[in-house]
Structure 1
Amino acid sequence: MAAANAHYYATRDPLGRAGDFVTAPEISQMFGELIGLWTADLWDRADRPAVAWVELGPGRGTLTADAVRAMATAELTPAVHFVETSPVLRDAQRAHVPDAVWHYDIATLPTDLPLIVVANEFFDALPIRQLVKRDEWHERLVACQDTLFLPIAGKPVPADIVPAPLRDAPVGSILEASPDSVHLIRALTTRLVAQGGALLAIDYGYDGPALGDTLQAVRGHRCANPFDTPGENDLTAHVDFTTLAAAAQNASGVVWGPVPQRDLLGALGIDGRTSALAKASPARADALLADRTRLMDDMGTLFRALGVTAPTWPAPAGFA
Structure 2
Amino acid sequence: MSMCLRHYYDTRDPLGAGGDFTTAPEISQMFGELIGLWMLEIWQAMGSPAPCRLIELGPGRGTLMADFLRATRLIPDFQSSVTVHLVETSSSLHERQRQMLATSGFHVTWHTRIEDVPEGPALLVANEFFDALPVRQFQATDRGWCERLVGLNDDRFVFGLRPEPEAALGKPPHEGAILEWPAASIDLMKGLSHRFANEGGAALIIDYGYWGPVLGDTLQALKRHDYHDPLYEPGEADLTTHVDFHHIAESAGRNRVRIHGPAMQGDFLDALGIAARAAALKQRATPAQAADIDSALSRLTARGPTEMGELFKVLAISHADIEAVPGLAPLQARL
**TM-score normalised by length of structure 1:** 0.96
Indicate the SS of the match to 1:187: helix
Mapping of 1:1-320 within 5 angstroms? 1-50=1-50, 51-75=52-76, 76-77=78-79, 78-98=82-102, 99-111=107-119, 113-135=120-142, 136-162=144-170, 167-283=171-287, 284-297=289-302, 298-320=307-329
- 2: CA distance between counterparts of 1:3 and 1:158? 24
Amino acid at match of 2:117: L
Q: Deviations over 1:227-277 (max 9, x none)?
A: 101100100000010000000001222111111101110111000000000
Once the two structures are TM-superposed, the CA of residue 79 in structure 1 deviates from its matched residue by 1.3
The residue identity in structure 1 corresponding to 2:62 is G
- Which amino acid is 2:210 matched to? Y
* Residue type of the alignment partner of 1:110: P
* In structure 1, C-alpha distance between the alignment counterparts of 2:164 and 2:273, rounded to whole Å: 50
* Distance in 1, Cα, partners of 2:153 & 2:232: 12
Q: Displacement of 1:46 after TM fit? A: 2.3
Do the aligned residues in 1 keep the contact of 2:219 with 2:240 (CA within 8 Å)? yes
Q: Is the 8 A contact 1:196 1:313 kept in 2?
A: no
Instruction: Compute the RMSD of aligned alpha carbons.
Output: 1.1
**CA offset at residue 314 of structure 1?**
4.1
Question: Would the aligned equivalents of 1:82 and 1:100 in 2 still touch at CA under 8 Å?
Answer: yes
- Contact kept, 8 Å, 2:145 with 2:172, in 1: the verdict is no
**Kept in 1: contact 2:85–2:110 (CA 8 A):** yes
Measure, in 2, the Cα distance between the counterparts of 1:34 and 1:147: 48
What secondary structure does 2:309 align onto? coil
Give the secondary-structure state (helix, strand or coil) at the position aligned to 1:250.
Answer: coil
- The answer on whether the counterparts of 2:89 and 2:112 sit within 8 Å (CA) in structure 1 is yes
| Aligned counterparts of 2:261 and 2:220: Cα–Cα separation in 1 | 25
**2:15 partner amino acid:** L
Q: Is the 8 A contact 1:114 1:192 kept in 2?
A: yes
* Structure 2 unpaired stretches of 5+: 330-335
Higher deviation after alignment, 248-257 or 151-160: 151-160
What CA deviation, in whole Å up to 9, does each residue of 1:93-121 have, x standing for no partner?
0011234100011111120x210010000
Partner letter of residue 137 of structure 2?
A: Q
Identity value in percent: 45
Q: Any conservation in 1 of the 2:141–2:172 contact (CA below 8 Å)?
A: no
Measure, in 1, the Cα distance between the counterparts of 2:195 and 2:284: 41
CA distance in 1, matches of 2:59, 2:14: 12
| Secondary structure in structure 2 of the residue aligned to 1:291 | helix
Once residues 155 and 2 of structure 2 are traced to their aligned partners in structure 1, the CA distance between those partners, rounded to angstroms, is: 19
Q: Deviations over 1:4-46 (max 9, x none)?
A: 1111011111000000000000000000000000011111222
Give the secondary structure class of the aligned counterpart of 1:101: strand
**Alpha-carbon distance in structure 2 between the residues aligned to 1:200 and 1:17:** 27
Is the Cα contact below 8 Å between 2:58 and 2:129 reproduced in 1?
Answer: yes
Runs of 4+ in 1 over 2 A off after TM superposition: 155-162
Question: What amino acid is aligned across from residue 296 of structure 1 in structure 2?
Answer: T
Aligned mates of 2:168, 2:112 — CA distance in 1: 35
Which SS does the other structure have where 2:89 is aligned? coil
Alignment-mate amino acid for residue 318 of structure 1: G
Mapped partners of 2:254, 2:38: distance in 1: 25
Task: Give, in whole Å, the separation in 1 of the partners of 2:201 and 2:151.
Answer: 43
C-alpha deviation, 1:289, in angstroms: 0.4
Equivalent pair of 1:45/1:314 in contact (CA under 8 Å): no
Q: Deviations over 1:193-215 (max 9, x none)?
A: 11110000000111111100000
Q: After superposition, what is the alpha-carbon deviation per residue over 1:120-139, rounded to whole angstroms, capped at 9, x for unaligned?
A: 00000000110001112100
What is the rounded CA distance, in whole Å, between the counterparts of 2:75 and 2:312 in structure 1?
27
Name the count of aligned residue pairs: 315
Q: What does the per-residue CA deviation read over 1:121-174, in whole Å, with 9 as the maximum and x for residues that have no partner?
A: 000000011000111210000011222111111123234325xxxx33221110
Most deviating of 291-300 and 47-56: 47-56
